[in-house]
A and B are shown apart, each in its own frame.
Chain A
Amino acid sequence: MPGFVLVATFIGFGGLMHDVGFPIVAGLLSTLLVWALPAQVILVGGLGAGTSLPALALAVCLSGVRLMPMVVALMPLMRGPRPRLWRELLCAHFVAVTLWVEGFRLLPGVPEPARPVYSCGLGVGLTTLSMVGTAFGFYLTNALPGPLAVALLLLTPISFTILLVRNARQAVDWLAIALGAAISPLVANSPGGLDLFWAGVGGGTLAFLLTRYGPRRRA
């Protein structure tokens, strides 16, 4: 079931690529190498909106921070009894939301020596499926009638919205979602292609400061 949603979101990403005129080979490469849909959507969507390359690199970099705690938490389960650095780096590359969830579910049942291979196998399988989804979405957009073609383009924003709602636990999360979403249209087409920077860094910092130093509710 998580695999199904995963492939669907990559079909949506393929549709988005086609929509902004991003070439297919580079798009497939982004699924293989970046392997983190938020970063890919920031990249492709940002290029489509005319965001400058340094601002995009910064936005991609900031969006990738969440991968680090995932790697830290999942690595003890993936590395096996005889750790090798290159093998850990390879396993870590496949860590993204889906492998993070599935890893905690599946890896404890795998014998320890087999875990690095199992993790990579799972990662390669998920990546391959997602690349097929990316290509499928890219070429499907042309073949679909109007209402279904726009439905394809909604897949990315709607699945991200639901994931944001699902992962929001504390006040700071909700505030960051609200501020990021509210600032984004206000700064669209801001000079220098820095709109994502203002909405993300500005909204996130404001949410952080407000929950930490702002008025506190009494318990």
Chain B
Amino acid sequence: MSFYSNELTAILIVIFVGFLPNEVWRVFGVLFGRRIDENSLLMQWVRAVATALLAAVVARLVLVPSGALVALPLWLRLGAVAAGIAGFLTMRRSVLAGVLTAEAVLVIGAWWLGVG
């Protein structure tokens, strides 16, 4: 019973808090596409906010995690992210290489510390 209401609530949240506020931009793109100036001040501000928002989400997941990542020390979490950026920059700007470098550092670190 509580499972269904929980699932149903989550589905409604996905539709009204996730799908609609996000999809509206795709619809705008179709309807007003030819009239939008991508370099207007408003769009520049909006892009800066979207970038900062994503950085904030990442920072919270890494610096103040809520789940299983808590078990790892902060230096290992930060070290893995730094290793990922270094891997990306040194290996031909390959996203895959960066992700694999970060994961390798994290797994070896977690295994070595015996946590997780």
By the criterion CB–CB under 8 Å, are A147 and B116 in contact?
yes
CB of A131 closer than 8 Å to a CB of B: no
Query: Binary interface profile of A, 145-188, with partner B (CB < 8 Å = 1, else 0)?
Result: 11111110111111111111111100011011111111111001
A: contact size bracket: 35 or more
For residues 38 through 97 of chain A, which have their beta carbon under 8 Å from a beta carbon of chain B? 38-43, 45, 47-49, 53, 56-72, 75, 85, 88-89, 92-93, 95
Q: Mark B9-26, 1 if CB is under 8 A from A, else 0.
A: 011011111110111111
How many inter-chain contacts with C-beta < 8 Å in the A-B complex? 308
Knowing A5-B96, A208-B44, say if A53 contacts B72 (CB, 8 Å): no
Cα of A88 to Cα of B31 in the assembled complex, Å: 9
- In the complex, the chain B residue whose C-beta lies closest to that of A42 is B57
A92 to B61, CA, bound (A): 30
Scoring B residues 39 to 70 as 1 if CB is less than 8 Å from chain A, else 0, what string do you get? 00001111111111111111111111111110
Q: Is the interface of B mostly helix, strand, loop or mixed?
A: helix
Main secondary structure of the interface of A (DSSP, over half): helix
A67-B25, A93-B26, A158-B84 known; A204-B96 Cβ under 8 A: no
> In whole angstroms, how far apart are the Cα atoms of A212 and B103 in the complex?
38
Contact of A154 among B50, B80, B85 (CB under 8 A): B80
- B22-A64 in contact (CB<8A): yes
- In the assembled complex, B30 has its CB within 8 A of some CB on chain A: yes
Binds B, one of A21-29, A110-118, A132-140: A21-29
Q: For A158, give its contact among B51, B81, B115 (CB under 8 Å).
A: B81
In the complex, which range does the number of interface residues on chain B fall in?
A: 35 or more
Which residue from B6, B18, B36, B96 sits with its C-beta under 8 Å from A40?
A: B18
Which of B7, B26, B38, B59 is close to A92, meaning CB atoms less than 8 Å apart? B26
Is the CB–CB distance between B53 and A63 below 8 Å? yes
A120 close to B (CB within 8 Å): no
> Which of B26, B52, B99, B106 is in CB contact (< 8 Å) with A199?
B52
Point out the residues of chain B lying under 8 angstroms from A149, CB to CB.
68, 116
What are 15 sample pairs from A and B whose C-beta atoms fall under 8 A apart? A4-B96, A39-B18, A43-B13, A65-B25, A65-B49, A146-B116, A153-B69, A158-B80, A159-B95, A172-B48, A173-B48, A195-B56, A199-B56, A202-B52, A204-B49
Question: What 9 A-B pairs have minimum CB-CB distances, sorted nearest first?
Answer: A71-B29, A204-B49, A200-B53, A180-B52, A146-B116, A180-B55, A19-B67, A26-B10, A199-B56
